[in-house]
Amino acid sequence: MVKFETVLERLKDILSKELGERRVYNKDVAQALGISAENLSMLKKRGKMPLREILDFCAKRSISINWLLYDQHPDTLSDTTQRYIYVKYFKEINASAGGGAFNYETKMEKIALDREFIRIMGLNGQAKHLEAINLIGDSMEPLLKEGSVVFVDTSQKDIKKGGIFVISTHMGLFIKRVVLKLDGKVLLVSENKEYAEEEVDMESIRIKGKVIGAVDKI
């Protein structure tokens, strides 16, 4: 993965074309990413990348995030060959310990992910059914951090063997570890032990898919 300084220069190259080939400053990049110039400066000093904002930036411009994270030539920015896999990203959907909604009418964008990134993330077998949403709240920490972009395999809805799933309830959208009990009840378990387990009837929930990966917001 390339350094943040390199990513920053590549973002400037893109914005330069959008802004009329003029010189682009860090404040222009910050504005394009939707963060403050001060925040960008702090992240640059720490060598940390605002990954979620970069994902949004790439999605809006149909740019492969692999160009920013790996050593690709700018001419491959719009490459739509089989080298890339496009994942539905519902950036306005949040799943948490409370609230949210999984509405397929919600505005959706596509993230172009390089197959090497898919391989590194261990998502190869699920790529066809992958969707991405945001995680808010700390109920699944330390396993899943607040602000992460979570990848969901919508083809996996069988909870018999357990796992972490996206669950729709009358209270909203949740990401929880799911345990099916012998009596048919379902336990919704948080990784953060400050949150109590919740027992629900199977009929009161809908399984939207299994969480198979996440990228932390740094």
Q: Is residue 134 part of a domain?
A: yes
Q: Are residues 60 and 2 in the same domain?
A: yes
Q: What pTM did the predictor assign?
A: 0.58
Are 40 and 99 in the same domain? no
Domain shared by 23 and 52, yes or no: yes
166, part of any domain = yes
- Domain containing residue 49: 1-74
Residue 41 belongs to some domain of the structure: yes
Number of domains in the chain: 2
Whether 99 and 190 share a structural domain = yes
Contact 53, 43 (CB under 8 A): no
Q: Are residues 96 and 172 in the same domain?
A: yes
In a domain, 149, yes or no: yes
CATH code for the domain in which residue 27 is found? 1.10.260
Give the model confidence (pLDDT) of 175-184 as tens digits.
999 999 999 9
Residue 102 in this model has a pLDDT that exceeds 60: no
Domain contains 12: yes
Residues 32, 137 within the same domain:
no
Tens-place pLDDT, residues 138-174: 889 999 888 888 889 898 999 999 999 999 888 888 9
